[in-house]
Amino acid sequence: MRTDVKTPTRQKEQLQRGTSFTVGGAVAAAAPATLGQALELLSSHRLRPIAGGTDLVVRNRKGAGIPIDIGDPPLFIGHLSELKELRPAGAGPNANAGEPTGSAGSRPAAAGSSSVGPVSIGAAVTLTQLQRSPQCPPALSIVIPEFASPAVRSFATVGGNICNASPAADLLPPLYAHGAAVELASTSGSRTMPIGEFITGPGTTAIAAGELMTRIEIPDTAADYRFYRKVASRRANALSKLSVYVAARTRRGQVQWIGIALGAVAPTVVHLPAADYDLFGLGARELVEAAPEVIRAYDAGVNPIDDQRSRAGYRRRTALRLLEFVLTEDLPAHLAAPGQGTDAGGGDSSKPSLPSSVT
């Protein structure tokens, strides 16, 4: 049961008892039984979708004993089985039914590799369900342990973290770096768009009235080099001051592909594919030479703010210093090291040490 993200049958039946509650002819709250019902309700009523609620409740709380007011009547979607599937991309709905290990349809994992191939994650999959799934993309499995706390992750959903569109959202940097896309559905059909187009600003997205986010499509995030630092006031349960995510695939001492993304240093995540592309094909020494140009591009791309968590200057300086560390020390050391080709994930004692100012 623990690795199966599907809704238990018992739970579904109970939810079917009440699909929507009306007060004076208007829908006051709705707990639909299916995604189809949810989309129907959303097309004809003013409702606010709520999945785990861990952000919405904090933002709208008024105090002890007072119910949460999220502006419009709630449309509960966190239980919908269609939004809780985690499957290999392209496998189609229910490809994994009854198979919690989820190997059906995915390409066989190479020995010693944590590659899970491209995956399609239902928007209401919780962080805990994702973390425990063998299909959790390695790009996200290094981020989730630093995402809030276990008791928040058991309700917080992948789709919620994306739709809230916080500049400091923990899942966003890896999703940008690897080119993830989101699927939006309404009664008139569905559309898919790149994550960077979906998020239009702090707290704003391209979602239209009547649409729900249904899935997150993530390409294969396998990488033999991966760096992630969330800089916050404490290791657990803290919002990020800034974050740096870099993944690279290398071969014979050269960068084949690299994706860089900086979080919480601009209104949205900063990911500059053209700058990253300039690093493709470079060896360790060339990478060190090319680094200043790329760091300048990211310097021009970030636009941090002062807030209660940090100052703009600290955010810019620290993010760029971490990027410099990756491009001039850590990744070159990885390129020069023998026996590359496994998903590193960190923890190698021979690695250069981080700049002390940010540890």
Partner 1 sequence: MKIPFSLNGKAVEPDLNPMARLLDVLRSEFGLTSVKEGCGEGECGACTVLIDGEAANSCLVVMGNVIGRTVNTVESVLETPRGRMIADALAEQGGVQCGFCSPGFVVATDALLTAHPNPTDEQIRHSLSGNLCRCTGYQMIIDGVRTAADKVQTNEN
* Cα 30 to chain centroid, rounded: 27
Residue 35 exposure: Cα atoms within 13 Å on the Cβ side: 21
- Shortest distance (Å) from residue 60 CB to partner 1: 9
Position 70: which residue type?
I
Please provide residue 182's backbone torsions phi and psi, each rounded to the nearest 5 degrees.
-120, 150
Nearer to partner 1, 13 or 289 (CB): 13
- Shortest distance (Å) from residue 226 CB to partner 1: 20
Nearer to partner 1, 237 or 342 (CB): 237
- Shortest distance (Å) from residue 3 CB to partner 1: 12
* Number of Cβ atoms within 10 Å of the Cβ of 65: 5
Collect all residues with Cβ–Cβ distance below 8 Å to 61 and sequence separation of at least 6. Answer: 68
Measuring CA to CA, which residue among 19, 6, 144, 198 is closest to residue 83?
A: 6
Give the separation between CA 324 and CA 319, rounded to whole angstroms.
9
- Shortest distance (Å) from residue 20 CB to partner 1: 10
- Shortest distance (Å) from residue 189 CB to partner 1: 28
Helix (H, G, I), strand (E, B) or coil at 132: helix
Nearer to partner 1, 178 or 309 (CB): 309
Nearer to partner 1, 77 or 323 (CB): 77
Collect all residues with Cβ–Cβ distance below 8 Å to 208 and sequence separation of at least 6. Answer: 184, 186
Alpha helices (H) along the chain: 9-16, 35-44, 54-60, 127-132, 138-141, 150-153, 158-163, 172-177, 195-198, 273-277, 284-301, 312-325, 331-336
Is-contact 127 158, C-beta < 8 A?
yes
- Shortest distance (Å) from residue 24 CB to partner 1: 14
Nearer to partner 1, 2 or 252 (CB): 2
| Residue 164 buriedness (CB in 10 A; 0-12 / 13-18 / 19+) | middle
- Shortest distance (Å) from residue 34 CB to partner 1: 15
Give the separation between CA 78 and CA 83, rounded to whole angstroms.
8
- Shortest distance (Å) from residue 192 CB to partner 1: 28
Nearer to partner 1, 147 or 298 (CB): 147
Nearer to partner 1, 27 or 248 (CB): 27
Nearer to partner 1, 145 or 281 (CB): 145
- Shortest distance (Å) from residue 62 CB to partner 1: 10
Residues that bind partner 1 (CB under 8 A): 2, 10-15, 17-18, 21, 28-29, 31, 50, 52-54, 57-58, 61, 63-70, 74, 76, 78-79, 128, 145, 148-152, 154-155, 235-237
Nearer to partner 1, 11 or 188 (CB): 11
Measuring CA to CA, which residue among 268, 276, 275 is closest to residue 304?
A: 268
Please provide residue 212's backbone torsions phi and psi, each rounded to the nearest 5 degrees.
-125, 145
